[in-house]
């Protein structure tokens, strides 16, 4: 094992993606334009983003013993991700996300299935793997107790942890204190702070560890207590699904490569922009060479 490993603990889903000009109202039927099954899940997406850039990525997660599970494990293995720690849960379906894409924006329903079987006990079995990592990347599509346990183990071993608080839920203060960076979008940031009393001392500290992805308004990051706004990059967006995942995977990769936080965010901002130019969360995630080529054109 090298000293520059990224471990992603999180969800693995099959995305069932319907493109439509018109989103149906309750009780209404409309005709859509296309349907695709595309690998997804916030954990898997972030793992792919980091691996495509050249990261040494290990994933800890779970799939069911169905055809989606097998397809996804094969696919992620082919992306160069170490999938030896994936749990196959008997008699349970692999996680799915039903996604409607309309005018490049999306609505998503996630059915976690096997993702809910990642328990704190399973996380503990992977303590050595977490310990050997440079970066641990977490999201909220597995049980929260398991996210907390993973963060505790990372803290114990001095591993830098990024928490992408998506999909957002009320989070215990201990978790927010343990992680090094929290990467909400604007909506998630509002809800994150709404649940904390303003007089609580964690508010200031949490703000400074937040990296906020703001879509077409760019990214906000704190560096040495100073707020920095990184502008967005204009691209023709086809599908924004997974843009945040691309950002998080790229951020983990860039920090792992030794970039300081502002530069890492600028790099991840470019990767996020490139990723939305194709349909599907993982489809548009670039390789390092593709990022360099993009930057040649978009100086």
Count of residues that interact with ligand RIB, criterion CB under 6 A = 16
Return the number of the residue (40 or 69) whose C-beta is nearest ligand RIB: 40
CA torsion sign, 103 to 12 to 156 to 122? positive
* Structure token digits, residue 11: 């969800």
Q: Which of 72, 18, 16, 15 is nearest to 47 (CA)?
A: 72
Give residue number: closest CB to ligand RIB.
Answer: 40
Which residues 261-290 are close enough to bind ligand RIB by CB under 6 A?
281
* Catalytic one of 15, 66, 239, 245: 245
15 catalytic? Reply is no
**Least CB distance to ligand RIB at residue 47 (A):** 12
Q: Is 50 in the site for ligand RIB (CB under 6 A)?
A: no
DSSP helix/strand/coil, 280? coil
ω into 78 cis (within 30 of 0): no
Phi, psi of 174 (to 5 degrees): -60, -40
13 binds ligand RIB (CB under 6 A): yes
Cβ-based nearer residue to ligand RIB, 134 or 241: 241
Per CB under 6 A, the segment of 60-68, 151-159, 177-185, 241-249 that binds ligand RIB is: 241-249
Contact at 8 Å (CB) between 185 and 214?
Answer: yes
Report angle CA 270, 74, 129 to the nearest 5 degrees.
70
Q: Are 129 and 47 in contact (CB under 8 A)?
A: no
Stretch touching ligand RIB by CB under 6 A, among 38-46, 55-63, 175-183, 225-233: 38-46
Which parts of this chain interact with ligand RIB (CB under 6 A)? 11, 13, 15, 40-42, 45, 97, 108, 110, 141, 241-242, 244-245, 281
Q: Provide the annotated active-site residues.
A: 245
């Amino acid at each position: 094992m090298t000293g520059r490993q990224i471990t992603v603990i999180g969800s693995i889903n099959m995305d069932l993606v319907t493109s439509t000009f018109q989103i149906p109202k309750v009780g209404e039927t409309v005709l859509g334009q296309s349907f695709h099954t595309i690998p997804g899940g916030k954990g898997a997406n972030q793992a792919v983003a980091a691996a495509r850039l050249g990261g040494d990525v290990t994933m800890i997660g779970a799939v069911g013993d169905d055809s989606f599970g097998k397809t996804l494990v094969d696919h992620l293995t082919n992306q160069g991700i170490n999938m030896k720690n994936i749990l196959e849960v008997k008699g349970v379906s692999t996680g799915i996300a039903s996604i409607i894409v309309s005018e490049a924006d999306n609505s998503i329903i996630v059915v976690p299935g096997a993702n809910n079987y990642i328990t704190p006990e399973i996380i503990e079995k992977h303590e050595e793997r977490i310990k050997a990592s440079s970066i641990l990347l977490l999201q909220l599509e597995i049980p929260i107790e398991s996210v907390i346990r993973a963060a505790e183990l990372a803290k114990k071993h001095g591993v830098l942890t990024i928490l992408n608080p998506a999909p957002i839920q009320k989070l215990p203060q201990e978790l927010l204190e343990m992680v090094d960076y929290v990467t909400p979008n604007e909506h998630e940031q509002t809800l994150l702070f709404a649940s904390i009393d303003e007089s609580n001392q964690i508010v200031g500290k949490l703000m400074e560890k937040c990296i906020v992805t703001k879509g077409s308004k760019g990214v906000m990051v704190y560096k040495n207590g100073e707020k920095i706004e990184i502008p967005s990059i204009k691209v023709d967006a086809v599908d924004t699904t997974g843009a945040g995942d691309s950002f998080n995977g790229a951020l983990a990769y860039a920090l792992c490569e030794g970039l300081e936080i502002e530069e890492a965010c600028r790099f991840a901002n470019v990767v996020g922009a490139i990723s939305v130019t194709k349909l599907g969360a993982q489809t548009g995630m670039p390789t390092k060479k593709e990022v360099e080529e993009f930057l040649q054109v978009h100086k």
